[in-house]
Amino acid sequence: MNPEKVVFAFFIILSLTLNFGFFIGDVDNPAHHDAWQLFATLVVNAIATVLKFGDRSQMGAVLLATSLAAMLQLIAAAVVWTGAAHIAQTGLTPGVTASIVSLSGGALIANVISVVLLIIETLKLQR
């Protein structure tokens, strides 16, 4: 067993599960979406992105692209949250919360693609 591949897969899967945990719930109810969970998702996704930089294969390039797409979505969600809560002082209205959760949903799709690609790559290695 390669410890580097275990850590790599761990962070990809953890990123997906954290993002799913943030995404699930009523889309416009701020009580169902915790700021710390979004922050944890962003941090873990950043770690997963950094781990993908070393792979020079075509699959590695696609994995990096999905991770960068997820990071862009999560950063946008964090900016919207910060802007509503601290800059505009409007707070988390149902519309703002829906925007944040929708951006997280885009990142969730990118994370699902990463996990599917990881599974495909793993299955190809075993043959």
Q: 47-89 pLDDT, tens per residue?
A: 999 988 877 888 889 999 999 999 999 999 999 999 998 888 8
At residue 112, the pLDDT reads 97
Range of the domain at 28: 3-126
Over the stretch 88-115, which tens digit does the pLDDT of each residue have? 888 889 999 999 999 999 999 999 999 9
Domain count, the chain: 1
**Residue 71: partners with Cβ closer than 8 Å, 6 or more residues away:** 42, 45, 46, 49, 107
The more confident residue out of 111 and 2 is 111
Q: What pTM does this model have?
A: 0.91
Specify the pLDDT at position 127.
59
> Measured between alpha carbons, how far is 44 from 33 in angstroms, rounded to an integer?
17
Task: Give the pLDDT band (50/70/90) at residue 119.
Answer: very high
Q: Which pLDDT score is estimated for 126?
A: 65
Give me 94's structure tokens. Answer: 């149902």
